[in-house]
């Protein structure tokens, strides 16, 4: 069978980046990537189990590939692999190997065994103090890069499967991180996103012993790096020095993703979130007291076990108080093995009603807040083009999507992806801004945009 592989990724940015590492590993072994499962000798699914729907998607893919599976090697990676383990072979007997998110260091050995014809190979150990420092990473985009700084999670939120899928918290050595960041800058990358389930819990294991804020300072100061983001932050570990680091470094973006999950202290207690409503609001105040105008986004779960109408009202009122730039909201989904799955559940219809109400409330906030930006000039890092609307699509430092046209043909014929453009905002919607190009910069530093085409 040809050494070709197809990989599909589900879930969070951590998973997207894990797939980039797996791709590097496979290409170093002589595999080449193809764009459909039918062309591939090896089909990989890098999976997410955060909610039941995400997990179901994987089994539906595995069902779909069954007919074509003969002669192909099928592998399940990521969180479902870790959480469901060998049960996957019962549900989908055509799967050849499973490798969990905490076991990627075992992947070369797993592949050796699979290539030697062994069936049902597993890498499922959760007890690890190692990080996945891939020797080669094949990134999706040549100008914007993820760097994992901390893996796993030591918190114990009662709804969450992550501690069971990604293992204990492990920070990567600051020296290795700086080496990676410098190398990226030298290759023309200008945007770096630092990743971790609780990114701001970072503690340098090296003798330098850097705090997260120090790491931000050092990466923010690297020549040619223009934007540094980090996600996801935990409110309990969000300290003043992080805000100061943002104030000191222009390259640190004016955006913090700070999941609150609920606006009710009693629900937060049931979730074991380690902070209450007031503490969260104090953290928000601290971030808003920065000299820079830092925008906030959040995650919210509605219908957590025991959530009353009054609790839910508290979440709505928190939206009014904080005025988030965006909110990711979800119905609570019971996960096997987590404490909240055993608690008294809120009926599904009620969860649905609360989700709709919350989203409507936040939509109004975003409509109003985005409309306030009309007339302003914003810098956008261009990510893609929208052929249908003849627009470029970029992001502002505050992480807003900005769609813009080039009416005076300033950049005729140029591919603006990966460049920074000044854009005049002319209109807005609840989830994005619309504008017109004012100026585009000279040629970008990176090479190889063909990756994107």
* Site for ligand 5AD, rule CB under 6 A: 50-51, 159-160, 259, 261, 299, 301, 330, 332-333, 335
CB of residue 11 to ligand 5AD, shortest distance in Å: 9
CB of residue 139 to ligand SF4, shortest distance in Å: 18
Instruction: Could you list the beta-strand ranges (E) of 168-316.
Output: 170-171, 191-195, 227-231, 255-257, 295-302
Q: Which is nearer to ligand SF4, 49 or 315 (CB)?
A: 49
**Which partner, ligand 5AD, ligand SF4, none, binds residue 263 by CB below 5 to 8 Å per kind?**
none
CB of residue 333 to ligand 5AD, shortest distance in Å: 4
Q: Which is nearer to ligand 5AD, 322 or 416 (CB)?
A: 322
Q: Which is nearer to ligand 5AD, 72 or 331 (CB)?
A: 331
DSSP annotation string for 390-429: TEEEEE-TT--EEEEE-TT-TTTT---TT-EEEEEEEEE-
Q: Which residues bind ligand SF4 (CB under 6 A)?
A: 11-12, 14-15, 48-50, 78-79, 161-162, 165-166
The answer to whether 10 and 47 are in contact (CB under 8 A) is yes
**Which partner, ligand 5AD, ligand SF4, none, binds residue 192 by CB below 5 to 8 Å per kind?**
none
Q: Which is nearer to ligand SF4, 50 or 76 (CB)?
A: 50
User: C-alpha dihedral over 139, 144, 150, 154, to 10 degrees?
Assistant: -100
The answer to whether 357 and 316 are in contact (CB under 8 A) is yes
CB of residue 151 to ligand SF4, shortest distance in Å: 10
**Which partner, ligand SF4, ligand 5AD, none, binds residue 84 by CB below 5 to 8 Å per kind?**
none
Instruction: Could you list the beta-strand ranges (E) of 303-409.
Output: 326-331, 377-386, 391-395, 401-405
In angstroms, the CA 44 to CA 80 distance is: 13
β-pairing, 170-171 with 150-151? Answer: antiparallel
Q: Kindly report the number of other CB atoms within 10 A of residue 53's CB atom.
A: 11
In angstroms, the CA 118 to CA 110 distance is: 9
CB of residue 17 to ligand 5AD, shortest distance in Å: 15
**Which partner, ligand 5AD, ligand SF4, none, binds residue 15 by CB below 5 to 8 Å per kind?**
ligand SF4
Q: Indicate the helix (H) or strand (E) that contains 76.
A: strand 73-77
In angstroms, the CA 82 to CA 93 distance is: 17
Q: Which is nearer to ligand 5AD, 141 or 257 (CB)?
A: 257
CB of residue 153 to ligand SF4, shortest distance in Å: 8
The answer to whether 359 and 316 are in contact (CB under 8 A) is no
**Which partner, ligand 5AD, ligand SF4, none, binds residue 48 by CB below 5 to 8 Å per kind?**
ligand SF4
Task: Please give the residue whose beta carbon sits closest to ligand 5AD in the complex.
Answer: 299
């Amino acid at each position: 069978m040809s050494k070709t592989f197809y990989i599909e990724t589900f879930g969070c940015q951590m998973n997207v980046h894990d797939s980039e590492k797996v791709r590097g590993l496979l290409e170093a072994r002589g595999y080449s990537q193809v764009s459909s499962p039918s062309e591939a000798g090896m089909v990989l699914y890098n999976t997410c189990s955060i909610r039941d729907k995400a997990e179901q998607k994987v089994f539906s893919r595995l069902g779909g590939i069954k007919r074509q599976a003969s002669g192909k090697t099928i592998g399940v990676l990521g969180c479902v692999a870790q959480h469901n383990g060998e049960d996957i072979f019962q549900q989908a007997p055509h799967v050849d190997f499973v490798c969990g998110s905490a076991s990627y260091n075992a992947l070369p050995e797993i592949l050796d065994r699979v290539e030697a014809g062994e069936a049902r190979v597993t890498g499922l150990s959760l007890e690890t103090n190692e990080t996945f420092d891939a020797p080669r990473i094949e990134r999706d985009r040549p100008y914007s890069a993820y760097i994992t700084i901390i893996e796993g999670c030591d918190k114990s939120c009662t709804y969450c499967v992550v501690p069971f899928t990604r293992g204990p918290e492990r920070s990567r050595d600051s020296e290795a991180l700086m080496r990676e960041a410098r190398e990226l800058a030298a290759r023309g990358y200008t945007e770096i996103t630092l990743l971790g389930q609780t990114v701001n819990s970072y503690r340098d294991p090296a003798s330098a012993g850097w705090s997260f804020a120090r790491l931000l300072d050092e990466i923010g100061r690297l020549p040619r790096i223009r934007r540094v983001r980090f996600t996801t932050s935990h409110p309990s570990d969000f300290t003043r020095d992080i805000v100061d680091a943002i104030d000191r470094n222009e390259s640190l973006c004016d955006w913090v993703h700070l999941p609150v999950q609920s606006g009710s202290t009693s629900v937060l207690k049931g979730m074991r979130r380690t902070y209450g409503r007031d503490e969260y609001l104090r953290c928000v105040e601290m971030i808003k007291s920065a000299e820079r105008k830092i925008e906030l986004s959040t995650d919210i779960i509605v219908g957590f076990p025991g959530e009353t109408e009054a609790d839910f009202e508290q979440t709505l009122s928190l939206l009014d108080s904080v005025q988030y730039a965006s909110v990711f909201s979800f119905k609570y989904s019971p996960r096997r093995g987590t404490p909240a799955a055993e608690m008294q559940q809120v009926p599904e219809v009620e969860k649905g009603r609360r989700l709709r109400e919350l989203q409507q409330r936040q939509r109004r906030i975003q409509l109003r807040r985005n409309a306030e930006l009309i007339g302003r000039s914003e810098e956008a890092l261009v990510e893609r083009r929208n052929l249908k609307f003849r627009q470029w699509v970029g992001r502002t430092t505050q992480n807003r999507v900005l769609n813009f046209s080039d009416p005076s043909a300033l950049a005729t014929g140029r591919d603006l992806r990966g460049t920074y453009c000044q854009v005049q905002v002319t209109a807005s919607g609840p989830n994005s801004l619309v504008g017109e190009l004012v100026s585009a910069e000279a040629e970008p530093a990176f090479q190889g945009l063909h990756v994107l085409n």
